[in-house]
């Protein structure tokens, strides 16, 4: 233990070291263990075309961030969307590599992320050898490669997103009760449909054997509660989660919209009885350009007042919340000052850019101290853990070092243990402790 105060000239070095050495529990990803199958088998066995574990350079290059970006370079009047989607994965990756990395300087954060990942894996981005990179990935065993990526990214545990209304994933849980048992991964139950499309969700639940109907009678609501209980038991999810549109509103006890009734009468009671938090990711407006697939979603301003109402009306529930619009961030952070059952987390999706991560982390730290979760990777491709945490750690360390320098200028000089405690809180303990209640 080192309790001696440190010299101001040491702050930046010690903070950077503490942030880099602290393992992170990544609280929200779309990643899976090999038990869920992988389209790229590598050296570890047969490929599963519908497998959920995505990894490798072709998946990095065809991630929807870069699909949307390549249509800035080569618009649809030159390459129709339908023609792009008819290409094989490798052909799509070839097109994106050529247009965004060879024909143009890869200045965007998404492009830079691919290069950081290659470099940290020991591959040389300056070779510009896509075929060589593919050969290297093909030699990797997927399960061993998960360990390698986690070690490089210094991630101690990966939190999955287990979408119960996704038929592919649902069937894997039903076929193998141990499919989610890999200790490197923590499950999370995702159930957007209950709040976004009650009628459609009720139809499915009825087909699955639950007494749930479009009319939200007492019996129907109890059937939905039992559905959640059953799937929390099956997955052992550590929290419940939904993604919500900018139009999401919760108006309190008198709000009789189907989504609000389901939230008030089904979701929050079940999570409260289980002692589990509820994560809300608010602000994604889906499919404004459906021709881009997953890249066709955009951002919209959301309603923080609805979050305040939930935190006030449900004091026995704990709420994780992140919002997609920059315009919401100050109000959401102030809301977290008012309610201890609200945990602000991450710089999500369109906010996952260095200038915005820096801005939001500074603002949150100035308002909340170290009592928030500065980042989650939201990774959908395993390899993205490397660059997202590499880039985010640099930014988090810079903000934390600047704040410790401000304290030193005010006469309060921290110890090395203080700095390591801050790093652990930001990257691990705040999430772990909020889970525990």
pLDDT digits (tens, 9 = 90+) for 319-361: 999 999 999 999 999 999 999 999 999 999 999 999 999 999 9
Neighbour order of strands in the sheet with 189-190: 162-163, 189-190, 240-244, 278-282, 319-323, 342-344
- DSSP for residue 55: -
Q: What is the Cα–Cα distance from 48 to 85, expressed in whole angstroms? A: 20
Work out the number of other CB atoms within 10 angstroms of the CB of residue 207.
Answer: 9
Share of the chain above pLDDT 70, in %: 99
137 is written with which tokens? 């990935």
pLDDT digits (tens, 9 = 90+) for 61-87: 999 999 999 999 999 999 999 999 999
CATH T-level assignment (fold) for domain 42-138: uronate isomerase, domain 2, chain A (1.10.2020)
| CATH superfamily, domain at 154-344 | Metal-dependent hydrolases (3.20.20.140)
What is the domain partition of the chain in residue ranges?
Answer: 42-138, 154-344
pLDDT digits (tens, 9 = 90+) for 154-177: 999 999 999 999 999 999 999 999
Residue 1 has pLDDT above 70, yes or no: no
What pTM was computed for the model? 0.96
Locus of tokens 């699909």 = 67
pLDDT digits (tens, 9 = 90+) for 231-284: 999 999 999 999 999 999 999 999 999 999 999 999 999 999 999 999 999 999
DSSP string of 115-151, one letter each residue = HHHHHHTT--GGG--HHHHHHHHHTS-HHHHHHHHHH
């Amino acid at each position: 233990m080192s309790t001696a105060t440190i010299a101001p000239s040491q702050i930046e070095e010690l903070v950077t070291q503490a942030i880099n050495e602290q393992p992170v529990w990544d609280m929200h990803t779309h990643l899976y263990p090999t038990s869920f199958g992988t389209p790229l088998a590598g050296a570890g066995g047969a490929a599963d075309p519908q497998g959920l574990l995505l990894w490798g350079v072709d998946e990095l290059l065809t991630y929807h961030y870069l699909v949307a970006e390549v249509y800035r370079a080569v618009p649809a009047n030159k390459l129709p969307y339908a023609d792009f989607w008819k290409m094989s994965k490798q052909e799509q990756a070839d097109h994106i590599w050529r247009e965004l990395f060879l024909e143009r300087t890869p200045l965007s954060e998404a492009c830079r992320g691919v290069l950081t990942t290659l470099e940290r894996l020991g591959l040389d981005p300056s070779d510009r050898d896509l075929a060589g990179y593919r050969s290297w990935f093909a030699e990797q065993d997927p399960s061993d490669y998960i360990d390698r990526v986690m070690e490089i990214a210094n991630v101690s545990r990966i939190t999955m997103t287990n979408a119960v209304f996704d038929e592919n994933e649902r069937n894997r849980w039903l076929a193998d009760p141990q499919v989610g048992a890999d200790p490197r991964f923590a499950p999370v139950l995702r159930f957007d449909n209950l709040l976004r499309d009650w009628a459609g969700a009720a139809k499915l639940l009825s087909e699955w054997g639950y007494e749930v109907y479009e009319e939200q009678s007492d019996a129907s609501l109890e059937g939905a509660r039992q559905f959640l209980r059953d799937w929390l038991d099956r997955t052992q999810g550590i929290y419940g989660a939904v993604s919500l549109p900018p139009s999401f509103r919760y108006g309190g006890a008198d709000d009789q919209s189907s989504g609000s009734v389901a939230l008030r009468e089904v979701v929050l009671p079940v999570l409260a009885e289980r002692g589990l938090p509820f994560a809300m990711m608010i602000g994604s407006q889906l499919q404004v350009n459906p021709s881009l697939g997953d890249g066709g979603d955009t951002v919209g301003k959301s309603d923080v007042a609805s979050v305040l109402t939930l935190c006030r009306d449900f004091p026995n529930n704990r709420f994780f919340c992140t919002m997609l619009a920059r315009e919401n961030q100050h109000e959401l952070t102030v809301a977290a000052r008012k309610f201890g059952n609200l945990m602000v987390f991450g710089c999500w999706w369109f906010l996952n850019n260095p200038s915005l991560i820096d801005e939001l982390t500074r603002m949150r730290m100035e308002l909340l101290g170290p009592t928030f979760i500065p980042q989650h990777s939201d990774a959908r491709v395993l390899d993205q853990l490397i660059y997202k945490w590499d880039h985010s750690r640099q930014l988090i360390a810079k903000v934390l070092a600047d704040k410790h320098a401000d304290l030193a200028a005010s006469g309060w000089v921290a110890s090395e243990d203080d700095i390591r405690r801050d790093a652990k809180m930001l990257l691990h303990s705040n999430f772990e402790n909020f889970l525990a209640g």
